[in-house]
Amino acid sequence: MFSRWRFILLLFVLFFIFLGLSYRILDLSHFSRSYYENFINNARATKSVRKAVRGKIRDCNGAIFALTTVKFDIGVDPYIIDCHKDREKIAQLAALLEKKTEDMADFFRRESLIREGRERRLRWKKIATIEDEDLYRKIKDLQIKGIYGNMRSERVYPNNELASHVIGFINRGGIAVSGIEHFLNDFLCGQDGWIVSEKNGKREEIALFRKSVVEPKNGSHVNLTIELQIQTIAEQALRRAMEELKAKNGTVIVSDPNRGAILALCNAPTFNCNEYAKSSIDNLRNRAITDLYEPGSVFKIIPFSVALEQGLITLDQTFDCSREHFSYGGKKYSLPRDHTFFGKLSAVDVLRKSSNRGVAQIGIMLGAERLYHAARTFGFGERTGYGFDGESAGFVPKPKIWDGLTITRFPMGHAINATPLQVHQAMGVIASGGYLLQPKIISRLMDEREAVIAETESRVVRQVLPSVIAKKLGELLHNPESSSSAVAGVKLAYKTGTSQKIINGTYSREHHVASCSGFLPLKDPQFLITVVLDNPIMPTGGTAYGIRAAYPVFAEIAQQLIIFKGVR
């Protein structure tokens, strides 16, 4: 009977084993089939990304401002390499890397690190970084167990800080932060490719079972309107001025007034695109489009040109600039002071001698509404369309909030805030023959085969002045009686400005913004130049007026351009 119960128990055990196996088979073949299929496929499948090469940023002549280089980090796992077995190959490796064989021993020494209270083996030591892909293949062909190579791409800026605020940079995380790098990131970055295949037990790809291959599409190249040589001229002139005048910051813009194409744009202090992390955030800002200031006397071209166009004044009309008050339309207005005493001046001399009282009288004759409309028509109070993030629209107060002094201060460039690029664009109206042109920084986009994808065209925002008025005003901005009216025999047209900075709510007598904007040559303008210096200090003492601080920078750049481009 005992044997019978043992037999019955054995049958039950076998039955339940069979039942469990049957359920497991049914589960694998039916209930959990999709899960295990995905698990197996994921375990065998491999997807490797093939990185696209970021496009180049170049100047108008093809000189490179930014490019991507491929680098290979060669390293070793000291716990895998067999120095005795592979000593001949290690000697060949040392020769390829131009190192001494005995020095390689330091890399192969086994070490450990203490992390979070635990001892961890150091499984990777970098031996060298190389850029030669052929050399990398030779190292791989040695097939030294424990020697690995990691490929990475690196963004390089060959000119360091040159045009840094235009170019921008890529941070360590591969993110485009500013400038052209950020603005055209979608075109520059391209499209990564990939390979979907299978791998064996050693995690090696089985090329026979490749399921799909998508080739990477490299990024487009960007050609700017910037010209490297002109950018260099502008930056060198600004750097010398900053050192000599101890200015807080400065901006220089050079463009072609007939196309609106920016040939140079620089700010100081600047930064090195390759070492952006070493610069303060303040230095990374593109001050030409973000910083606001009162343009001062450069703004006088606006009320003067509009009054001339509308027939409110004539060139031989006389203005009494000795008076402190001016009565017009039954109202009496308090006039601002001039930097020196003037008696009666013609309208031409009001502009050339930059009389605050003279232009204030012209502003009163125009009236608040026409002054406001004139400023807006010249581009103040709106973004230039330069394209980059962070551009300020500036500020032009509406007449309804003007106080009793605004009507006389507004014509001399006070009570208005503008960026250096807006002032540059406004002077371009005179240089271009009366047209407000949108600043242009991008010339064309090209694919990796250098075929043109897109080409930008010059854009006229609007006609501001009749060409005859713009031409006449250009002639007035050239003062033949002034020693600074020409450089190297080429006639210049320009207007300087000096605006007092507001410190603690009041205009300061010690702190100024000096500026100069103009063009050359007079009859056929080819270059438009604007210089803005924040709080310069004259080494010889006295007020850093625009004619003393900013004009010399303007003249230096003009002279270099005349020599470089053969201007006559």
pLDDT digits (tens, 9 = 90+) for 370-416: 999 999 999 999 999 887 878 999 999 999 999 989 999 999 999 99
Which fold does the domain 228-445+457-565 belong to in CATH? Beta-lactamase (3.40.710)
Residue 313 scores a pLDDT above 90: yes
Confidence (pLDDT) at 112: 77
- Grade residue 17 by pLDDT with cuts at 50, 70 and 90: confident
183: number of CA atoms within 13 Å, CB side? 19
**pLDDT (average), residues 109-119:** 76
Q: Which residue has the higher pLDDT, 351 or 32?
A: 351
Q: Which residue has the higher pLDDT, 100 or 520?
A: 520
Residue with tokens 């469990």: 20
Q: Is residue 59 a contact partner of residue 120, using CB atoms and an 8 Å limit?
A: no
- Grade residue 553 by pLDDT with cuts at 50, 70 and 90: very high
- Grade residue 52 by pLDDT with cuts at 50, 70 and 90: confident
Confidence (pLDDT) at 19: 78
10: part of which helix (H) or strand (E)?
Answer: helix 2-26
Confidence (pLDDT) at 125: 84
Q: What is the pTM of this model?
A: 0.85
The beta strand positions in 90-157, using DSSP E, are: 112-115, 118-121, 125-130, 147-156
Structure-block tokens of residue 201: 């037990």
Confidence (pLDDT) at 331: 92
Residue 97 scores a pLDDT above 70: yes
- Grade residue 75 by pLDDT with cuts at 50, 70 and 90: confident
Residue 203 scores a pLDDT above 60: no
- Grade residue 194 by pLDDT with cuts at 50, 70 and 90: confident
Neighbours of 272 (CB within 10 A): 16
- Numbers of helices and strands, H then E, in the chain: 19, 26
Confidence (pLDDT) at 318: 96
State pLDDT tens for residues 254-277: 999 999 999 999 999 999 999 999
- Grade residue 561 by pLDDT with cuts at 50, 70 and 90: very high
Q: Which residue has the higher pLDDT, 121 or 328?
A: 328
Residue with tokens 């499984």: 123
Confidence (pLDDT) at 195: 72
- Grade residue 528 by pLDDT with cuts at 50, 70 and 90: very high
Confidence (pLDDT) at 389: 77
Give the residue from 514, 530, 522, 431 showing the smallest Cα distance to 485. Answer: 522
Residue 530 scores a pLDDT above 80: yes
Edge-to-edge strand list for the sheet holding 527-534: 261-268, 249-256, 527-534, 506-520, 493-503
- Grade residue 172 by pLDDT with cuts at 50, 70 and 90: confident
Q: Which residue has the higher pLDDT, 136 or 194?
A: 136
Residue 93 scores a pLDDT above 80: yes
Confidence (pLDDT) at 23: 74
